[in-house]
Amino acid sequence: MIDKIQAALTEKRISAKELAQSYLTAIDERKELNCYITLTPEAALEAADAVDRKLASGEALAALEGVPFALKDNISTTGLLTTCASNMLEGYTPAYDAFVWERLKAQNAVLLGKANMDEFAMGSTCETSRIGAARNPHNTDCVSGGSSGGSASAVAANLAAYSLGSDTGGSVRQPASFCGLTGLKPTYGAVSRYGLIAYASSLDQIGVIAQNSADCEKVFGVIAGYDKRDMTSKQAKFTALTERPLKIGVASEFLDGASPEVTKAIESALEVYRKMGCEIVPVEFPLLKYALPVYYILACAEASSNLGRYDGLRYGPGAEHYDDLDDGISKIRSERFGTEVQRRILLGTYVLSSGYFDAYYKKAQNLKAAITAQLAGEILGKCDMLLTPTVPTTALKIGAGLSPVETYLTDICTVTVNITGLPALSVPCGLSGGLPIGMQLIGSPWSDLQLLNAAKSFERATDCAYLTKLAGGVTL
Amino acid sequence: MKYEMVIGLETHIELSTNSKLFCDCKAKFGEEPNTNVCPVCLGHPGVLPNLNRSAVEYTIQAGLSIGCAIAPLSKMDRKHYFYPDLPKAWQTSQLYAPLCIGGTVELASGRVIRMNHIHLEEDAGKLIHERGRIYIDYNRGGVPLMECVSEPDLRSADEAVEYLEILQGVMRTIGVSDCRMQEGSMRCDVNISLRPEGAEKLGIRAEIKNLNSFTAVRAAIAYEYERQTEILDNGGTVVQETRGFDGKTTASLRDKENSDDYRYFPEPDIITIAVSDADVERLQSQLPELPRVREARYVAALGLSEKDAAQLSKYRRVAEFFENAGASKLAANLILTQMFSRISTEVERELWNVPFSALDLKALIFLIDSGKLARNAAKQVLTAMLDSGEAAETIASREGLLSTGEAIDLAAAVADAIAANPGAAADYKAGKTKAAQAIIGAVMKATKGKANPEELRKTAENALSQ
DSSP 8-state assignment for residue A474: -
pLDDT digits (tens, 9 = 90+) for B121-169: 999 999 999 988 889 999 999 999 999 999 999 999 999 999 999 999 9
A432 is catalytic: no
Yes or no: say if A393 and A264 are a contact pair by the CB < 8 Å rule: no
Which chain B residue's Cα is nearest to A299? Answer: B268
Lowest mean pLDDT among B16-20, B95-99, B346-350, B453-457: B453-457
**For residues B314-325, average pLDDT:** 92
Q: How far is B2 from chain A (nearest CA, A)?
A: 38
Which pLDDT score is estimated for A446?
Answer: 98
Written as one letter, the residue type at B110 is G
DSSP code of residue A187: P
Angle at B142 between CA B134 and CA A225, to 5 degrees: 130
Judge: B43–A309 Cβ closer than 8 Å, yes or no. Answer: yes
CA dihedral B364, B367, B369, B375 (to 10 degrees): -70
Question: In the predicted model, what is the mean pLDDT of chain B?
Answer: 92
Closest CA to A117 of A87, A147, A154: A147
- Report, at the CATH architecture level, how domain A2-239+424-462 is classified: Alpha-Beta Complex (3.90)
**Cα A152 from Cα A116, distance rounded (Å):** 9
Segment 317-346 of chain A within 8 Å of chain B by CB: 325-326, 329
Residues 264-323 of A with CB under 8 A from B: 301-302, 304-305, 308-309, 311, 313-315
Which CATH code is given to the segment(s) B410-465? Answer: 1.10.10
Give the tens place of pLDDT for each residue, B26-85.
998 789 999 999 999 999 999 999 999 999 999 999 999 999 999 999 999 999 999 999
State ipTM: 0.95
Across the interface, whether the CB atoms of A232 and B47 are under 8 A apart is answered: no
Candidates B46, B42, B88; CA nearest to A74 is B46
Q: Residue B404 pLDDT more than 80?
A: no
- Residue B16 CA to residue B103 CA, distance in Å, equals 22
CB count within 10 Å of CB A152 equals: 38
Q: Count CA atoms closer than 13 A to B204's CA, side-chain side.
A: 13
Name which of A196, A198, A349 is nearest B263 (Cβ-Cβ): A349
**In degrees, to the nearest 5, what angle opens at C-alpha A276 toward C-alphas A272 and A278?**
95
At B418 the pLDDT is: 85
Could you tell me the pTM of the whole model? 0.88
For the segment B330-377, what is each residue's pLDDT rounded down to a tens digit? Answer: 999 999 999 999 999 888 898 899 999 999 999 999 999 888 888 888
- Cross-chain residue pair A354–B261, CB shorter than 8 Å: yes
Between B401 and A381, residue with greater pLDDT? A381
High-pLDDT (> 90) share of chain B, %: 73
Percent helix / strand / coil, chain B, rounded to 5: 40, 20, 40
Contacts of residue A76 in chain B, CB cutoff 8 Å? 44-46
Q: Bigger pLDDT: A187 or B440?
A: A187
Q: Which of A8, A229, A32 is nearest to A139 (CA)?
A: A32
User: B46 and A232: CB-CB below 8 Å?
Assistant: no
| Contact partners, residue B130, CB within 8 Å, separation at least 6 | none
Among A182, A78, A104, A188, which Cα is nearest to A439's? A182
Predicted pLDDT of residue B466: 74
pLDDT for the residue B405: 58
Question: For the residues of A270-295, what is the DSSP string, one character each?
Answer: HHHHHHTTPEEEEE--TTHHHHHHHH
**Which residue is catalytic, options A124, A144, A147, A233?**
A147
Distance from the B50 Cα atom to the nearest Cα atom in chain A, whole angstroms? 5
Could you say which residues from 196 to 255 on chain A have a Cβ atom under 8 Å away from some Cβ of chain B?
A: 196-198, 200-202, 228-232
Report the distance separating Cα B33 and Cα B361, nearest Å.
41
Q: Catalytic: which of A129, A144, A171, A426?
A: A171
Q: Looking at residues B294-308, what average pLDDT do you find?
A: 92
Question: Which residues, given as ranges, of chain A have pLDDT below 70?
Answer: none
- As a whole number, mean pLDDT of residues B17-23 equals 98
Tell me, yes or no, if A147 is annotated catalytic: yes
Which letter does DSSP use for residue A75 in this model?
A: B
- Is A305 in contact with B43 (Cβ distance < 8 A)? no
| Contacts for A373-380: CB closer than 8 Å, 24+ residues apart | A374/A285, A374/A286, A374/A287, A375/A285, A375/A287, A375/A416, A375/A420, A375/A422, A375/A442, A376/A420, A376/A422, A376/A444, A376/A445, A378/A283, A379/A249, A379/A251, A379/A283, A379/A284, A379/A285, A380/A249, A380/A422, A380/A442, A380/A443, A380/A444
- Domain residues of chain B, as ranges? 3-282, 289-398, 410-465
